[in-house]
């Protein structure tokens, strides 16, 4: 009943920036938390950032070190991930995920809906 589509990935040089977008459609009125996760080849999927409907946020500080900012445009049902000062270790497929009640923990990967992912590649 909910569809998520990520966009904005691509190839960027180390130190550059990208802005990822997650557009939600379908039964979006009861979405409460939208998060970003990433997975590099051979690595576990890891939590990046999440935001709830009224703007409260949480981050994986060990991974993003204050370089990323998540925001949400509720009227447009869109969530953004602004990524600055990108590093090669940020290279991964980035996934948008949404949760509805009953809610999973923000930093777990047990969200209800997932997008198809968008590739982010950071060159040295």
Q: What would the pLDDT profile of 95-121 be if each residue is shown by its tens digit?
A: 999 998 888 888 888 999 999 999 999
| CA Rg value for the chain | 13
DSSP line for 42-101: TS--EEEEEEETTS-EEE-HHHHTT-EEEEEEGGGTEEEEEE-S--GGG-EEEEEEEE-S
| pLDDT of amino acid 103 | 83
Give mean pLDDT, residues 35-48.
Answer: 96
| pLDDT of amino acid 23 | 95
Residue % of the chain over a pLDDT of 90? 76
Residues in the chain: 124
The yes-or-no verdict on residue 49 having pLDDT over 90 is: yes
Confidence of residue 3 (pLDDT cuts 50, 70, 90): very high
Average pLDDT, the chain: 93
């Amino acid at each position: 009943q909910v569809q998520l589509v990520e966009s904005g990935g691509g190839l960027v040089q180390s130190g550059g920036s990208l802005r990822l977008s997650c557009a939600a459609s379908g039964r979006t009125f009861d979405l409460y938390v939208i998060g970003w996760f990433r997975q590099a080849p051979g690595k576990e999927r890891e939590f990046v950032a999440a935001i709830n409907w009224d703007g409260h946020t949480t981050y994986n500080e060990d991974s993003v070190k204050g370089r990323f900012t998540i925001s949400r445009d509720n009227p447009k049902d869109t969530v953004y991930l602004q990524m600055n000062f990108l590093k090669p270790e940020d290279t991964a497929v980035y996934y948008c995920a949404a949760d509805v009640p009953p809610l999973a923990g923000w930093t777990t990967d047990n969200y209800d809906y997932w997008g198809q992912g968008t590739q982010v590649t950071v060159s040295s």
